[in-house]
Amino acid sequence: MKLPLHSPRLRRAARQRFGWSALRPGQLGAMRALLKGRDALVVLPTGAGKSAVYQVPASMLPGPTVVISPLLALQQDQITALNDRNQADLRAVRISSAETPTQRQAALDQVRQGKARFLFTTPEQLCDPDRLADVRDLKPSLVAVDEAHCISAWGHDFRPDYLSIGHLVRELGRPPVVALTATASPPVREDIVARLGLTDPHLVVAGLDRRNLFLEVAHCPTEDYRWRRLLALLDVERPPGIIYVPTRRAAQEFADRLAGAGYPARCYHGGMAAGARERLHEEFLDGLVPIMVATSAFGMGIDKPDVRWVVHTALPDSPDSYLQEIGRGGRDGDPSRALLLWRAEDIGLQRYFTTSPPEHDDLRDLAVLLDTSPTTRKQLGERTGLGTRRLGQLLALLEEVGAARTVTGNRVVRPPYAPLPASAAADAVTAAQRRQTLQRSRTDMMRAFAEATGCRSQALLAYFGEHMTEVCGHCDSCHAGTSVADDGASGPFPVHSMVRHAEWGAGMVLGYEEDRMTVLFDGVGYKTLSVPVVSEQGLLAAEPR
């Protein structure tokens, strides 16, 4: 078979410019799409070469590449890696809050003069109309959106400032866009595509089965049993490691209790001062903190290769969060353990954390403000008293139901033919309730994973739309001999086929385990159904694609 013309050029650029002797199939397909001017959505685990997907094509495109990333530490790592190659045409610069106005202008000048090819920035910088105009004048050939799950309201690290990226890209002249993330379930992927405005994106979802991670789950009938299981791991496994806990209070209490028992533990949570969090982050990366007890705030940017174990002391809110967090173990390719210690009471805690639907009056009042005159998000925050995060969530809902639109200059307006404020608020509340229903179903899926007796990797990857026919061999179920290979034909409908339920609507079959099947429904989220009941009562019908 004749290879596409772009493939040899991409391989040559990867070898000559970056020293990479080979490219993975998923990488190469996405690179070809970008060179052809097509969008791409790339879901690959950390360490699998997501950055290469945009860096190699960027070295071959005529204009600069704009990289939008949420964390300055992540940006700095990639900037350093590019500049350490000592190649003028791979030089990277940044405009962010960490640079002075003079430094930001110098960075733009370097790109404008062809002395730098990569411009790293944040959504906040591009939301400034003057800064956006500066970047638009550079005529970028490509935009890379890193940690793209942040744009999804049901991603595991939602950030309202990311919601403006789709509008900002259009303001930049709408070059091809590549969205990059380590984990994204089907609803998150759909959200990324919709909110970024990706057009028929080339999709890469691969490598989510980390074979060096040993997955194990223990049901803990009491808190004392959970504590003793944790100590049993700490006594046989060498650090460094991460212990994830559900609350800030639990982080402090666990760290204090471990330190009192002679284990070198520190705690980290979102309520700490920014400077203290940054110091702990750096100390962990430098090997000065052997055991970090943390909430999910200890997340992006933890690119430490030698984490030997990751423990969850409670059920995570979703498989999305779980896969992201255990993915911080064993990035050097050496064996690492992922231990989940859970109790039934964890379900109630996650139900408590589930965000309540927004108030109808808040949405209506916000829609009324948009009806008077175009305004910026900052002005809306001042007029409503809403915080940045809450305001972003409400605006996202109003945009979803056609009652708000972001236009030039990052101003928010009421579109023509938008629903009246009261109707818009009612529609937005309905959309929020749907999201809440999906979130609860994700928690249910996490419990199903914890209670499963079959191959855990099969169950986990099915949630993300990946079908494993063989057992993984690196989980407690496989070692106990309770895992069974899945040929995809063990039920009434093929895996990944579309079905319809009379009440829940259309859905996709994600997988089977014993006599149960998991279906992701568009309207109500994930459901686990009895295969005999489905067959006997005809609950599902095949749905044409």
Contact 474, 214 (CB under 8 A): yes
Token duo for residue 71? 């964390």
Contact 206, 468 (CB under 8 A): no
Distances (CA, A) of 342 to 125, 313, 513: 41, 6, 21
pLDDT of residue 313: 95
Reduced to 3 states (helix: H, G, I; strand: E, B; else coil), residue 235 is helix
Token duo for residue 531? 């295969």
pLDDT of residue 487: 55
**CA dihedral of 454, 460, 465, 470, whole degrees rounded to 10:** -40
Distances (CA, A) of 389 to 63, 153, 239, 351, 376: 34, 11, 36, 21, 15
Type of residue numbered 376: T
Measured in whole angstroms, how far is the alpha carbon of residue 408 from the centre of its chain? Answer: 28
Measured in whole angstroms, how far is the alpha carbon of residue 77 from the centre of its chain? Answer: 19
Q: What is the topology classification, in CATH, of domain 6-205?
A: Rossmann fold (3.40.50)
Question: For tokens 């070692």, what's the residue?
Answer: 479
Residues 94, 107: Cα–Cα separation, whole Å = 6
pLDDT of residue 236: 94
What are the residues whose beta carbons fall under 8 Å from the beta carbon of 362, sequence distance 6 or more? 384, 386, 394
Pairing of strands 375-376, 142-145: unpaired
Burial category of 534 from C-beta neighbours within 10 Å (exposed 0-12, middle 13-18, buried 19 and up): buried
CATH superfamily of 213-353: P-loop containing nucleotide triphosphate hydrolases (3.40.50.300)
The series of mean pLDDT values per 10 residues for the chain, 545 residues long, is: 62 85 82 93 81 91 92 83 88 90 93 94 85 92 91 66 82 93 84 90 87 94 94 95 93 94 93 87 92 87 87 90 90 94 76 68 87 77 82 83 75 81 88 80 86 87 80 92 67 85 88 81 84 91 81
What are the residues whose beta carbons fall under 8 Å from the beta carbon of 335, sequence distance 6 or more? 212, 214, 308
1.10.1240.10, 1.10.10.10, 3.30.70.580, 3.40.50.300: CATH of 360-433: 1.10.10.10
Domain ranges of the chain: 6-205, 213-353, 360-433, 486-545
Token duo for residue 465? 């739309």
Burial 454-490 (b: 16+ CB within 10 A, else e): bbbbbbbbbbbbbbbeebbebbbbbeeeebeebeeeb
Same fold, 6-205 and 213-353: yes
List the Cα angle 138/143/147 in 5-degree steps.
140
Residues 516, 159: Cα–Cα separation, whole Å = 35
| E strands in 85-176 | 92-95, 118-121, 142-145
Other beta carbons less than 10 A from residue 72's beta carbon:
18
Taking alpha carbons only, the member of 482, 480, 481, 454 closest to residue 468 is 454
Contact 457, 468 (CB under 8 A): yes
Residues 60, 46: Cα–Cα separation, whole Å = 24
CATH 2.30.30 fits 486-545, yes or no: yes
Element (H, E) at 215: strand 213-219
Alpha helices in 19-71 (DSSP H): 25-35, 50-58
Radius of gyration of the chain from Cα atoms? 24
pLDDT of residue 187: 81
Contact 320, 188 (CB under 8 A): yes
pLDDT of residue 127: 79
pLDDT of residue 453: 84
